[in-house]
Structure 1
Amino acid sequence: MPTTPASLGPASARTAAGMIAVAAAAAFLATFNETFLNVALTPIMADFDVTVGTVQWLTTAYLLVAAVFVPVSNILYRRLPTRPLFVAVVALLVLGSIVGAIAPSFGVLLLGRLLQAIGTGLLTPLGMTITLAVAPREKLGLAMGIMAAMTTLGPSMAIVISGVLLTAAPWTVLMWVFGGLSLLVLLAGAALLREVGERDRPVLDAPSLALVAVALVGILYGISTAFDGSALIAAAAAVVGLISLAGFVTRQHRIENPLIDLRPFRSTPFVLGVLMTMLGLVFVFAMNVVIPVFLQSSRGLSPLGASLTLAPGILLTVAMGPVAGRLFDRHGGRRMIPAGYLVMAIFVVLVGVAAGSPSVVLFGILYVPAVLGTSFVIGPAQTFALSHLDRETSPHGVTVVSTSFQIAGCVGTSLGVGVYGALTAAGAASGAAEGGALLGFRGAVGLVVLTSLIGVGLAIAASRSARTRRVRETAAPEAAPEDAEHRVSHITKSDVFAISSGQTVLEALRMFAERGISGAPVLGDDRTLLGFLSDGDVMRYLSAHHPSSASIYSFVAGAEEDIDEAMRDLGRLPAMRLATHQVITVDEDASISDAVAALADVRLKKVPVVRGEGGPVVGIVSRSAIARLAISTYLHGRGAAQGRPEGLSTMTV
């Protein structure tokens, strides 16, 4: 029987904040280590007398092993207590750092790196799952914005810090520094984490793990070697990976305890959100590798100078992450995410133009808004994807998102470096080495511009998919007039009590009390649907921020001051802050049977009725209206069967 954790309770908001902070530190730690050693590859080659093809396995193998162990995290999360699991996983990072720092050979160094990769693969989804479990729903965007900021900061900041350290110390100091950071996160987790998982006894299916391992290794190895190695081997590896992936998917549908529950993929908004997140990460990883290489090879900058060129954009992106999360909480991502992609595309084109000028300062300034655009994409897209899952499927969605992060990192790095290297070599063959580097860099810029424009299209599609999670009837145009009584418009209540986007939560509650209703849609000036606010949304907010006001016994306990403070808070809070942004609706021309299915599927009492896709709200259809129609129809038919005059009913409905 599943074990339900002790609730964090409304009085433990500070505890939840501490746990989110630990999870954010874990996200930073996991992604930080993915690029922390990249700047040190040259001295490592010299120390162990290995080739560039060999030393690259410190990065490639790391990403591959991390990707393989991401799905295992969900099994362990459901089997083991949260705090001991977190401590054990971070301990792998500490152990791998020590092994790598004292490694007498390249093989031992690679072993330490793989221990770190196992810890990373388990830690990334674990931190995100903890955040989803403890973050209040009305602040989920903010929490995920912080996680996304740390995720983006990690690989970017690693380049800067490693460049600074290598100017005064050998590469082994990088391993010791990372080990020390890991130990600090371990101690913080041991002190601040509490149990948040719902434990049962899931079984780790070994064939599924083997299939997903072969699939990920095959696909990622094929991509990573496509530009540097045998094209035939790369293609063969990718084909083997795809076949294994197909076998993995088939097996998950057939076994009782799947390694990854594939139900999240039934949600189109979730799938689109994952793809948008991956495209944003491809931009980050590709540019974080290509820009330092270009500046060092073409402009003669030192590793530290090249890293510092990225620093302003990195730091501002971290600061902007929570801001983007708050904006998503208030307004959703319908405009934010495509705008972020457009900013990325426009300014990275300008960076490509500036790369031909001698001014590195102009280059760095133009890159700032380009990388800032990612903060309006990665975090909001993750939140968009996961917000369309229920509590049961959220951990599996986290596993998918975390796996996609590793895949995006490998794809972005491989494609960016591959395009850069291929075009640079082509330019060098023509006799212009600097021109070749510039051609290679602009080719990489073209790659991320293309992915950004694809992201704009996905963002528009995701917005439409979320707004049209409604049931629409596909009746033929020549439908008979008498079919009109079987449409939603026949039972729609047109006198809708609605909330305007400018009203506060307190004003909405006053309307609820006066009208005797429990919720209402939030409408824009043109009566388009912006969200839906219910008394349940308000109670959840009060429970999290004003616990004493959430109980009817507060008046007896003398908590009037707390209640007054809660009401003042609601009087300042815009209704859209607490409203559900992704609202299930039904078209006025849909059939009543489809409306019944929609209400039953999501267990709602009422849904807004709209006129056309994205059109204005024209009314509300409720379960009670459908029930009255069903009873009336039944009694009418019964009366006709018993010979009563048409229209005579046995009771008033």
Structure 2
Amino acid sequence: MTSPAHSRPHATERVGPMIAVAAAAAFLATFNETFLNVAFTPIMADFGVAVTTVQWLTTAYLLVAAVFVPVANVLYHRFPTRSLFVSVVAVMVIGSLVGAFAPNFGVLLIGRLLQAIGTGLLTPIGMNTTLAVSPREKLGMNMGIMAAMTTLGPSLAIVLSGALLTVAPWTTLMWVFGGLCLIVLIAGTLVLRTVAELGRPRLDTLSFLLVAVALVGILYGVTAAFGGSAVWAATSGVIGLLALWAFIARQRRIDHPLLDLRPFSSTPFVLGVVMTMLGLVFVFAMNVIIPLFLQAARDVPPLGASLTLAPGILLTVALGPVAGRLFDRHSGRWSIPIGFLVMAVFVSLVGLAAGQTSLVIFGALYVPAVLATAFVIGPAQTFALSHLDHETSPHGVTVVSISFQIAGCVGTSLAAGVYGALSKARLNSGGSELSSLLLGFRGAVAFVVATSVIGIVLAFLAYRSVRHDRGGRAGRNSQGDSADDADPGVPGPGAASMGDATELSAASAVPVDRSATSANITVGSVDPTTVAAIMKSEVFTLSANQSVLEALRTFTDRGISGAPVVDADGDLVGFLSDGDVMRYLSAARPSSTSIYSFAIGAEDDLSQAMADLANLEVMRLANREVVTIDVDASIAYAVAALSDAKLKKVPVVDGPEGRMVGIVSRSAINRMAVAGYLRERVPVGSVLA
């Protein structure tokens, strides 16, 4: 692996074209995930296949893409960037040609899988290229472009495919996508250069095969359960689960795992990933079921079906930044469960409206349902990754990328399976075709409603796990020595203290009464073997709604380098250190590797960086998972906790609500140990001498 600073042998003027090619590749990869969805009905008619079969054009596509995501990192550091990029896009062109000339469904599926290999490799390669070539001062903007392209791809694909199918056969979609890929291939040949430090990373072939068997087995078992043999479904599922168990066991045993599993040790990360997947299951399920139902049951042309989906999806893209700002302010505590609730309510209304004649009402009710996903998918992903440390964050990104593809597989498979099974059962029992399709559609709606209800429950469990599991993990904790040398909120000389039953609020410098939490701890009642005997009750806190610049001013005025963050109720919700701020500045600004960058002639850059910090809330940079120690814990426990988590100091809490009452540090423990030793074994005079 190499840092961006050491991987830019190309001229500066090439950066723009290279990022443009990477963004176009990301757009193509996600564009093709939904490009064929609107064509399912004519494909079923041409090849005589059922809905449970045709949905594999999406399910298998996403499945193969998920398998190849972790492979991309190995290839990126093994082969020259341009050669790798051209080869991957060429595979997608070949897949498009195979699909365009396909004489039967099996050949079409093969072409689709070739495209999927390109998708699984192309997006990570494009992201890595952007990271490598972007100047630090433009990194955020360039990564934002990549994110926008991956979001716009599926949305525009639905509209464009619907428009094309009104005037041309479905094979036109294959030709169009192949042509777009060819344009990107030529552009990559002209502008890309090698941007990664190449080596000989090894791909663990057995791990690759195991994860492929696991995903295919489990997903095929789910699909076959709705439209195939129960024996085959059960056998496939068991084989998939066994392969998954073997894959996990191997990743823990080998030195260079295909997928690092350490992020799964964080409960908030796991819950965040699952919530993200549930939101994606909703989107993928409805993107498949709505066009199928409208075309088959209501005789809506492909363009009409795609336009029914398009307004909500395109508005969701625009609403993404708003949802992100709300997450920065409130940490998603309420926006995520409310998002799931709105999804459940309005998609239920869509199911009811499906039996009516008005397509306008049908489409209008779907808009708020899909808009609500903006308050779930992005914020849940951010919640998950924010609970990883710097070492495990890259592996968490890989897990999240794979989860996107798996969620698409699950959503497409289960929704199409329920739709096809219920429709067939009603038709076989003598029901009309319209009533059968309506029952199948409402069954699929019931499925996504159930996933949304599960999401509501998980959202509350996720934030509860953060509150009650603060002492369990260091997470992405800036209290650690490896992060920085922060002094978490211990005031300098002359600072107000909690021991005086007051504390200066960093946001407003207004005294905050702490007598309710400190009155229970008096000198005479303190057990000398507990943390209460050695903790400092002098501590400053930051307000969750203040700016980072205000926090830095507090650090400077009070002679501290970090402080806990509390919400309006006084509950501990995070921790911010100057190390967190410096890491942000070094990533966002080319010369702001410290807040003293003016010393090397970067006054303008520093001024701009400080202006940015004035508009950045504390919780945007603060660690949300803070290790704490109970005030009644033994000193021996504190030693073990500080050592295991590699922390210098941690907040001390008291009572069932976890109210903060002080800070305990390694230095306090060391002073206690040394003082005790000197008192008992070293004469006072000899020390002075």
In the superposition, the TM-score normalised over structure 2's length comes to: 0.81
Residue in 1 that maps onto 2:437: 437
Contact 2:220–2:236 (8 Å) recurs in 1: yes
What one-letter code is carried by the residue in structure 1 that aligns with 2:344? A
Partner of 1:485: 528
CA distance in 1, matches of 2:557, 2:534: 24
What secondary structure, in the 3-state scheme, does the structure 1 residue paired with 2:5 have?
coil
> Which amino acid is the alignment partner of residue 90 of structure 2?
A
Alpha-carbon distance in 2 for matches of 1:154, 1:414:
21
Q: Aligned equivalents of 2:6 and 2:636: distance in 1?
A: 39
Structure 2 counterparts to residues 523-538 of structure 1, below 5 A = 523-538=566-581
- Following superposition, the deviation at residue 98 of structure 1 comes to 3.4
Q: What is aligned with 1:460?
A: 460
Conserved? CA contact 1:220–1:407, under 8 Å: no
Deviation of 1:142 after TM superposition, in Å, equals 9.6
Work out whether residues 142 and 326 of structure 1, in 8 Å CA contact, stay in contact via their aligned partners in 2: no
Which amino acid is the alignment partner of residue 384 of structure 1? F
Matches within 5 A, 1:21-170: 25-44=24-43, 57-80=56-79, 84-103=83-102, 108-127=107-126, 151=150, 153-170=152-169
Q: Is the 8 A contact 1:269 1:385 kept in 2?
A: yes
**CA RMSD in angstroms, aligned pairs only:** 3.9
Mapped to 1, the partners of 2:162 and 2:253 lie a distance apart of: 50
Map of 2:652 onto structure 1: 609
Question: Per-residue CA shift, 1:417-476, capped at 9, x if unaligned?
Answer: 222222223433243443333322222121111111111122222222234443279xxx
Match of 2:261 in 1: 262
Q: Could you say what secondary structure the match of 1:532 adopts?
A: strand
Q: Distance in 2 between matches of 1:558 and 1:151?
A: 38
Distance in 1 separating the partners of 2:614 and 2:60: 55
Residue 202 of structure 1 is matched in structure 2 by 201
Q: Distance in 1 between matches of 2:136 and 2:599?
A: 29
What is the rounded CA distance, in whole Å, between the counterparts of 1:472 and 1:106 in structure 2?
Answer: 52
Please tell me whether the aligned partners of residues 68 and 213 of structure 1 are also in contact (alpha carbons under 8 angstroms): yes
Q: Structure 1: how far apart are the matches of 2:19 and 2:658?
A: 39
What are the residue-to-residue correspondences of 1:8-27 with 2, within 5 Å? 25-27=24-26
The corresponding residue for 2:476 is none
Q: For 1:170-209, list aligned pairs within 5 A.
A: 170-186=169-185, 201-209=200-208
Structure 1 range deviating more: 43-52 or 265-274: 43-52
Q: Structure 1 residues 533 and 37, CA, compared in 2 at 3 Å: closer, same or farther?
A: same
Q: Which amino acid is 1:246 matched to?
A: W
- Residue in 1 that maps onto 2:336: 337
**1:544 and 1:347, CA in 2 relative to 1: closer, same or farther beyond 3 A?**
same
Aligned to 2:302: 303
Shift of 1:256: 2.8
State the AA in 1 paired with 2:460. Answer: I
Instruction: Determine whether 1:425 maps to 2:468.
Output: no
Distance 1:563 1:177 in 2: 48
Note closer, same or farther for the CA distance 1:113–1:632 as it changes in structure 2 (3 Å cut).
same
Is the 1:146–1:325 contact (alpha carbons within 8 Å) kept by the matching residues of 2?
no
Counterpart for residue 507 of structure 1: 550
Instruction: Provide the identity percentage.
Output: 69
Q: Using the alignment, how far apart are the partners of 1:498 and 1:136 within structure 2?
A: 35
Distance in 2 (alpha carbons) for counterparts of 1:44 and 1:62: 16
1:174, 1:389 → 2: CA distance? 41
- Going from structure 1 to structure 2, the CA distance change for 1:417 and 1:31 (only over 3 Å counts) comes to same
- Tell me the distance in 1 between the aligned counterparts of 2:62 and 2:534: 56
Matched length? 635
The change in CA–CA distance for 1:519 and 1:602 in structure 2 (over 3 A counts) is same
Q: Give the 3 Å change call, closer, same or farther, for CA 631–556 of structure 1 in structure 2.
A: closer
Kept in 1, the 8 Å contact 2:531–2:633? The answer is: yes
Taking structure 1 as the reference length, the TM-score comes to 0.85
Structure-2 separation of matches of 1:472 and 1:343: 33
After TM superposition, the structure 1 stretch with the greater mean CA deviation from structure 2, 371-380 or 91-100, is 91-100
Letter in 2 for 1:297: A
State how 1:222-301 maps to structure 2 within 5 Å: 222-301=221-300
CA distance in 2, matches of 1:284, 1:168: 27
Q: Structure 2: which amino acid aligns with 1:438?
A: L
Comparing 456-465 and 75-84, the one that deviates more: 75-84
User: Which amino acid is 1:248 matched to?
Assistant: F
Secondary structure, counterpart of 2:306 in structure 1: helix
State which drifts further: 578-587 or 515-524: 578-587
Specify whether residues 399 and 232 from structure 1 end up closer, same or farther in structure 2 by C-alpha distance, changes over 3 A only: same
1:301-450 aligned at under 5 Å gives the runs 301-428=300-427, 429-450=429-450
* 1:624 equivalent in alignment to 2:667: yes
Alignment check: 8 A CA contact 1:280 1:377 kept: yes
The offset of 1:84, in angstroms, is: 4.8
- Provide closer, same or farther for how the CA distance between residues 521 and 176 of structure 1 changes in structure 2, counting only shifts above 3 A: same
Worse-matched range after superposition: 253-262 or 566-575: 566-575
Distance in 2 (CA, whole Å) between partners of 1:151 and 1:104 is 32
Letter in 1 for 2:534: I
For residues 570 and 33 of structure 1, do their structure 2 counterparts lie closer, same or farther at Cα, with a shift above 3 Å needed? closer
Report the counterpart of residue 585 of structure 1 in structure 2.
Answer: 628
Distance 1:167 1:334 in 2: 44
Check 1:575–1:49 CA distance in 2 against 1; reply closer, same or farther (3 A cut).
Answer: closer
Distance 1:356 1:434, change over 3 A: same
Residues in 2 aligned to 1:126 and 1:439: alpha-carbon distance in whole angstroms: 43
The residue type equivalent to 1:496 in the other structure is V
